Amino acid sequence: MITLVDTTLRDGEQSPGVAFTIREKIEIASLLSSIGINEMEAGTPVIGGDEAQAVKEIIALGLPSRILTWNRVLERDIEASLNCGANALYISCPVSDIQIKKKLRKKREWVKERFSKLLPELKKEGLYVACGLEDASRADPSFVLEVSYLLEELGVDRVRICDTVGILTPFKTFELITSIRKNIKAPLEIHTHNDFGLATANALAGIKGGAVYASVTVNGIGERAGNASLEEVVMAIEKIEGVKTGINIRRLKELSLLVSRSSGKPIHPNKPIVGDLVFTHESGIHVDGVIKDPSNYEPFPPEDIGAKRRLIIGKHSKA
């Protein structure tokens, strides 16, 4: 069973120009949970203000979904999360030399020391702890494995492998996850970014390689070019792989529109799955085929996701 971890309220909100209100965050979290998303990141409490308040209120809803907060490997981040009532935490730290040296101004040993200091204390308190290996796709594979080994020994609940700047291909993603999967027993999560337009494909490749968790965002919003799109990953798993995700796909369009309105980010007409043109036909050959049987030119019925089919007249309708 694949668990999709929605990070719209954290990584998605980090999309330039996006700032959800507390009410919008609660509305999005509630809809995500109601359609079957079992885990979601609610935000980064150490930011304080409305960010912390929104996390606190989402946790207080008592949704059936697991609510996680995002934290650096710093005590003050974790304290802020615990003050919001969090009992499930992501703790993230770079593992690539470029980020360890140029961003943190630290050495590899510091990364291991931080995880070793924090994880036992949190597990002793009975908290669910997932650890994110930021920029793992640009890291020395042997160090990624070394840190993964360490986290497993420390009792981590799962390890998130991050393609932070979106430089993986599906082939490399599969190889990376397969390699780690062969060496550690702790569950793996794949977290992909869309800088080269491969986030969804890489998420699927990670799942194929053995990841049992995959990070997604509604409409693929997120840093820079965004993240793996929830609706694309869900429908690829269900319609191409033939595997049920437990998600109510009939409400995907509703969810997409809600996040679009709240984020101020319009849905591109050609956006896979939820774009307005996905089930719009103009070419005469296509229109004729769709009238005879929609499956001629549609991979699945628009009703499956709460959308509608349109036939329009244009230049290409004569043929």
In this predicted structure, what is the pLDDT of residue 266?
A: 96
Residue appearing with tokens 């694309």: 232
In this predicted structure, what is the pLDDT of residue 15?
A: 96
Where are the CATH 4.10.430.20 domain residues in the chain? 280-317
Q: Which residues of the chain fall below pLDDT 50?
A: none
In this predicted structure, what is the pLDDT of residue 185?
A: 96
Separation CA 195–CA 223 (nearest Å) = 9
DSSP alpha helix (H) spans, the chain: 22-34, 49-60, 75-83, 97-102, 108-124, 141-153, 170-183, 199-209, 230-235, 252-263, 284-292
Classify domain 3-250 at the CATH superfamily level. Answer: Aldolase class I (3.20.20.70)
Where are the CATH 3.20.20.70 domain residues in the chain? 3-250
Residue 156, SS3 per DSSP: coil
Centre a 10 Å sphere on the Cβ of residue 117 and count the other Cβ atoms it contains. Answer: 12
Centre a 10 Å sphere on the Cβ of residue 82 and count the other Cβ atoms it contains. Answer: 17
Task: Return the exposure string of 259-298: e unless at least 16 CB atoms fall within 10 Å of the residue's CB, then b.
Answer: bbebbebebeeebebbbeebbbbebeebbebbeeeeeeeb
Q: How far is CA 306 from CA 178, 233, 250, 287, 293, in A?
A: 36, 17, 5, 21, 19
In this predicted structure, what is the pLDDT of residue 314?
A: 73
Backbone angles phi, psi at 148, to 5 degrees: -65, -40
In this predicted structure, what is the pLDDT of residue 29?
A: 98
- pTM for this structure? 0.95
Centre a 10 Å sphere on the Cβ of residue 100 and count the other Cβ atoms it contains. Answer: 22
The pairs formed by 246-250 with CB atoms below 8 angstroms and a separation of 24 or more are 246/1, 246/36, 246/38, 247/4, 247/35, 247/36, 247/37, 248/34, 248/35, 248/36, 249/304, 249/305, 250/303, 250/304, 250/305, 250/306
Q: Which among 83, 52, 27 has a CA at the least distance from the CA of 257?
A: 27
How many CA atoms lie within 13 Å of 178's alpha carbon, on the beta-carbon side?
A: 11
Beta-bridge partner residues of 63 = none
Q: Which among 218, 220, 238 has a CA at the least distance from the CA of 304?
A: 238
Separation CA 22–CA 284 (nearest Å) = 48
Sign of CA dihedral 141, 72, 221, 187: positive
Question: Is the CATH code 4.10.430.20 the one for domain 280-317?
Answer: yes
